[in-house]
Structure 1
Amino acid sequence: MTVQKKYDFIIVGAGPAGCALARNLALARQKPSVLLLEAGGDNADRELRVDGKRWITYMKEEMNWGYKTSPQEHCGDREVDYSRGKGLGGSSAINFGVYTVGARDDYDEWARLTGDDSFAWSKMQGRFKRLESFHGETPDGIEKKHANPKPEDHGTDGPLHVGFAKQWEKDIVPMLDAVAEAGFPLNPDHNSGNPIGMAAMINSCYNGLRSTASDLLTGVPDNLTVLTVSPARRLLLEGDRAVGVETRDNKYWASKEVILSAGALNSPKILMHSGIGPSDQLTKHNISVVKDVPIIGQGLRDHMFCPLVYVAKDGHTDRAEFYGNQAAMDEALAQWKADGTGPWTKFACGGCIGYFKIPGLAETKEFQALPPAEKAYLEKETVPHYELITHCPIHWLMPNFPSDSLNASSVLVFYANAQARGEVTLQSSDPDAPLQFDPKFLGTEFDRRVAIGSLREALKLVRHESYAKDTKAMLAGPSGDSDEELLAYWRQTISSSWHMTGTVKMGKKEDEDAAVDSDFRFKGIEGLRVADMSVVPVLASCHVQSVAYVTGITCAEKLIAQYGLA
């Protein structure tokens, strides 16, 4: 085993949080030496970034940890796909490219829970703006009611390019109009801090090219060292201080701090294999206990969805003509390689996304049984109860999809703010083995009530004449309208959004259920911080890659301030 030189800071994990943290630290005026360790490869092949293919990149085994949940008790004992990205960019390299920042009330709740205004919306929005180069241009003929972002809500010169697809499929605007006719509100910009209403989707893609967290590593100075194919196995500790990281082949030393940014499923694993975690689990697997921290791995939260799929009437979409013609897809790929244009910058590159509240939810017994603080949060103006997404290329994701239905129209239904708290637990003494993941989907009465209510609201939309006039058959949906039938459909079809959060929770210094403080410092271990979705104490109302980015940026700001690096 080779002993490597010492760095000021070592960051483990090159996903959105790790890359944002590494970039901002390395660019600090005092130029600290920073090492970024990534388990996977460089993901450098440009074809991995075809905008319209972002829905299937996760199928590439070398880019995906390949995780599954344990059998889910409330979902027919199904094991659910629990994909996590591997390689530079992390999960931003395999996700579906939806770029939403959530509700301003999410961040104000984060600030309340931690007693730290650094996480309030007024501060977080500034970080989002510095992160992004927003491209708000829309195709000709799009009205302001369909898309009308305000310049003051967006950034123009950040390293992450986000925006609308340059070409929109022919049924996107009709879908927005159908939503309005069905009585649902429209939202001209879901990234304004208020996501309520149906909006044209903003993507982490631009000009036909997927944007990933690895884009943040371009243009950084040489005081940042990036090492791929270097999976961290455990921390190097001297007493109660973290001093480095051990990989399979090497040891790396940090003179100031080690920061774990390996994500909500892998940061707990590294901690546990370093002897930091629930002592009963460590002892069971013959790992010496350095610090008994029972809450490590507890508190897992996620977003879940189920699909509604319909056969569209002839002529309503152009998808069958494209997806049903291999020659057309091959020609489109050649065009994309040549100049970044063509059908692969149109199909599955745009869509509609909406966040809504369930009428009458607050009057249900399941809502009334929640703790007062949770009820107050869920009743905030900008906090939704469910989400809808359209224009997913569902034929890639549904098994045994009928080949004559490629023009399908789909609506994915997500329920928000799940109250179930799952867990990730040690199942082997081998640091290369994954933990066991049990998110406890549909695990509380409230979760089941919100799942039923969200699906019922979505059915109001797809059955309304404004939408139903353009469909001719249902391909996937519940067998009936009763609570029991709607819940049964969820149990049969539930999927994870891969928004795993909360397994190394952040809180106030005195909070017994918090493993890190609001400065990301791990309690009881000097020189160690955790900065990724594992620490976030709210399940934000969005697709959480955005939250991971600003988590990394916020941690960098705190490190820069503490060490006088500015």
Structure 2
Amino acid sequence: MAQMFDFIIVGSGPAGSTLASTLSRSSKRPSVLLIEAGSKYTNPDLRVDGQRWMTFQKNPSMNWGYKTAPQEHALNREIDYSRGRALGGSSAINFGVYSVGASDDYDEWARVVGNNAFKWRNMQRRLKALETFHFDVPEGGKSGHIHVGYPREWEKDITPLLDIFEQAGFPLNKDHNSGNPIGMSVMINSAYGGIRSTAADALISAPENLIIQTDSPVQRLVIDDGKVIGVESNGKTYFASKEVVLSAGALDSPKILLHSGIGPRDQLQKYNIPVIVDVPVGQGLRDHYFTSIVYSRKDTSTDRKAFYGSQAAMDAALEEWKKDRTGGWSKYACGAGIGWFKSEEVAASDELNSLPAQEQRYIQLPTVPHFEIFTHFPAHWFIPNFPAEHLDYSCLSGFIYNSQARGEVTLQSSDPSVPLKFDPKILSHPFDRRVAIEVMRSVLKIAEHPSFAKDTVASIAVPKSASDEDILDYWKATVNSSWHMTGTAKMGTKDDPEAVVDEKFRVKGLTNLRVADMSVLPVLPSAHTQLPAYLTGATCAELLIKEYELE
């Protein structure tokens, strides 16, 4: 016998878990089904703070294992496009960066869609409710499910490296989650006390009216005369009396829509899927992209080799972590410097000045950065055959922001178990290539500063020179996705031809169906997208609670 719920939420990542938890805890206690394709994975060893960088590689059952199509502007490489397949979604395998972005991102979102619910002042209020921030300054939330903060102990070269940034002319910023991320900060983690937080933490002590169904991928929606009434999963049907909300992410919410007949007409007809609604699902894919440079350092500036170069040290640290969440695995790869910056060169470039006027205006807003620099990426886990003698190394990563490439996710089979084709079109836009060049020059400015260079022993991975051509060649050979996919079911006004959902997350042309995850964002946020995904779920929950008078 099929089961009936008030609400069905598909996907348990930051958006879906926040949405399901918040709805189910509202005072009228509606019945909510949270349905997740992956498993629960309750082993605490999967939450080791310093091992967050390896989870997606070491535990393939937790990862959909996606790759992009060959990228024409990146030497035809297939780029890793990992997505979490677990309770908690991609937060179960991500790198734990907890950043909100720019206040201007959210005010622009509100302007584009015509709904003040997305303005920064409202997002900031939701942010404080989501988190428990384990530090007095800067001030954060104190009662949320997601525990965030800094490692108990920082690696010895973090503070000196921040000093070098300041000496090299890069401003410092005490709180990158204040709404103005411009400047160099110490990274806020979705972790505290040696253990990582994931979206599954929002489901702790879930009320009885919230049913969590794992190991249940959704193949398609059940639609009756333009009204979405349920979902199909593994031969079972689950019905919703009020709403179905897709929160399966920017790669998989489109897949469910497309296999349900919601998407571009030509694409659906090609695979003999009956067309229910002709909307541009899967278009507008955006992401941030990064590359890193690596230098071997004097052993007086870092002590990583003593840890990573000794299996005995790492094994002993894991036992210490299991005992009381302390030791090397709560220190190494747990802290980093992170900063967002504007570039005079980008601002004055022909590439920016050739963009549409509204895009130029947005990119030049005061809190919107042009690029990001990140320190302490554990490159030895990612560079093949990393030389063991150089484990005392420093890694500096540069990220392209405001990417103007518009990729797509498209059907490649009528079988819902086959992934979509993912083509982000990395480095295809001239503006993206200009930002790539300028962020690398900024990273090289740090590496060549006398206070840094005095401790450099050798170059492990760097461009041949600082020329435009050599920098771009380096990017093409080494660029990676930041796994910040957005925009594939874009939110917009009713007359926006690129929009799939309206300003209240409702899919155009249907009733009782919404999408609430990173696929709807009309603005690529100036952040790592974990926290914006939490805020998206919280915003949709607030809207539904009001609409259905659940409080």
Smaller-chain TM-score bracket: over 0.9
* CA-CA distance at 1:330 after TM superposition: 0.7
Mapping of 1:116-195 within 5 angstroms? 116-136=115-135, 149-151=137-139, 154-195=140-181
* CA-CA distance at 1:4 after TM superposition: 2.5
Look up the match of 1:500.
485
Look up the match of 1:40.
38
Indicate if the aligned counterparts of 1:533 and 1:548 stay in contact, CA closer than 8 A.
yes
Indicate if the aligned counterparts of 1:89 and 1:212 stay in contact, CA closer than 8 A.
yes
Look up the match of 1:73.
72
Indicate if the aligned counterparts of 2:345 and 2:438 stay in contact, CA closer than 8 A.
no
* CA-CA distance at 1:393 after TM superposition: 1.4
TM-score by length of 2: 0.99
Indicate if the aligned counterparts of 2:138 and 2:174 stay in contact, CA closer than 8 A.
no
Q: What is the alpha-carbon distance in structure 2 between the residues aligned to residue 453 and residue 104 of structure 1? A: 24
Look up the match of 1:115.
114
Secondary structure of 2:109's match?
helix
Number of paired residues?
A: 550
- List alignment gaps of at least 5 residues for structure 2: none
Out of 273, 290, 293, the residue aligned to residue 308 of structure 1 is: 293
Indicate if the aligned counterparts of 1:74 and 1:440 stay in contact, CA closer than 8 A.
yes
Q: What is the alpha-carbon distance in structure 1 between the residues aligned to residue 6 and residue 411 of structure 2? A: 31
Which residue identity is paired with 2:543? K
* CA-CA distance at 1:292 after TM superposition: 1.7
* CA-CA distance at 1:34 after TM superposition: 0.1
Q: What is the alpha-carbon distance in structure 1 between the residues aligned to residue 86 and residue 515 of structure 2? A: 19
Look up the match of 2:246.
260
Indicate if the aligned counterparts of 1:100 and 1:543 stay in contact, CA closer than 8 A.
yes
Look up the match of 2:104.
105
- Say whether 1:236 aligns with 2:216: no
Q: What is the alpha-carbon distance in structure 1 between the residues aligned to residue 430 and residue 397 of structure 2? A: 22
Secondary structure of 1:253's match?
strand
Task: Give the % identical residues.
Answer: 58
Indicate if the aligned counterparts of 1:304 and 1:415 stay in contact, CA closer than 8 A.
yes
* CA-CA distance at 1:362 after TM superposition: 2.1
* CA-CA distance at 1:21 after TM superposition: 0.3
Q: What is the alpha-carbon distance in structure 2 between the residues aligned to residue 425 and residue 99 of structure 1? A: 30
Secondary structure of 1:506's match?
coil
Which residue identity is paired with 1:66? G
Which residue identity is paired with 1:10? I
Secondary structure of 2:344's match?
coil
Look up the match of 2:440.
455
Look up the match of 1:292.
278
- List alignment gaps of at least 5 residues for structure 1: 138-148
- Say whether 1:394 aligns with 2:379: yes
Give CA-to-partner distance per residue, 1:168-194, whole Å, 9 cap, x none. 000010110111111111111111111
Which residue identity is paired with 1:62? S
Q: What is the alpha-carbon distance in structure 2 between the residues aligned to residue 337 and residue 288 of structure 1? A: 53
Q: What is the alpha-carbon distance in structure 1 between the residues aligned to residue 161 and residue 438 of structure 2? A: 22
Q: What is the alpha-carbon distance in structure 1 between the residues aligned to residue 543 and residue 153 of structure 2? A: 41
TM-score by length of 1: 0.96
Q: What is the alpha-carbon distance in structure 1 between the residues aligned to residue 176 and residue 247 of structure 2? A: 27
Out of 225, 230, 247, the residue aligned to residue 233 of structure 2 is: 247
Which residue identity is paired with 1:113? V
Which residue identity is paired with 1:243? I
Look up the match of 2:265.
279
Indicate if the aligned counterparts of 2:12 and 2:89 stay in contact, CA closer than 8 A.
yes
- Say whether 1:334 aligns with 2:319: yes
Look up the match of 2:507.
522
* CA-CA distance at 1:283 after TM superposition: 1.3
Secondary structure of 2:219's match?
strand
Out of 451, 462, 465, the residue aligned to residue 480 of structure 1 is: 465
Q: What is the alpha-carbon distance in structure 2 between the residues aligned to residue 514 and residue 282 of structure 1? A: 18
Alpha-carbon RMSD across the aligned residues, in angstroms, is 0.8
Q: What is the alpha-carbon distance in structure 2 between the residues aligned to residue 274 and residue 399 of structure 1? A: 41
Indicate if the aligned counterparts of 1:13 and 1:38 stay in contact, CA closer than 8 A.
yes
* CA-CA distance at 1:232 after TM superposition: 0.3
Which residue identity is paired with 1:96? F
Secondary structure of 2:340's match?
strand
* CA-CA distance at 1:360 after TM superposition: 2.8
Which residue identity is paired with 1:41? S
Query: Which 10-residue stretch deviates more, 273-282 or 494-503?
Result: 273-282
Indicate if the aligned counterparts of 2:375 and 2:397 stay in contact, CA closer than 8 A.
yes
* CA-CA distance at 1:286 after TM superposition: 1.6
Mapping of 1:368-517 within 5 angstroms? 368-517=353-502
* CA-CA distance at 1:213 after TM superposition: 0.1
Give CA-to-partner distance per residue, 1:200-237, whole Å, 9 cap, x none. 11000010000000000012211000000000000001
Indicate if the aligned counterparts of 2:2 and 2:239 stay in contact, CA closer than 8 A.
yes
Look up the match of 1:23.
21
Query: Which 10-residue stretch deviates more, 230-239 or 310-319?
Result: 310-319
* CA-CA distance at 1:447 after TM superposition: 0.8
* CA-CA distance at 1:374 after TM superposition: 0.8
Secondary structure of 1:314's match?
coil
- Say whether 1:559 aligns with 2:544: yes
Look up the match of 1:143.
none
Indicate if the aligned counterparts of 2:84 and 2:92 stay in contact, CA closer than 8 A.
yes
* CA-CA distance at 1:284 after TM superposition: 1.2
Indicate if the aligned counterparts of 1:132 and 1:157 stay in contact, CA closer than 8 A.
yes
Q: What is the alpha-carbon distance in structure 1 between the residues aligned to residue 225 and residue 451 of structure 2? A: 66
Look up the match of 2:56.
58
Secondary structure of 2:519's match?
coil
* CA-CA distance at 1:314 after TM superposition: 1.7
Secondary structure of 1:429's match?
coil
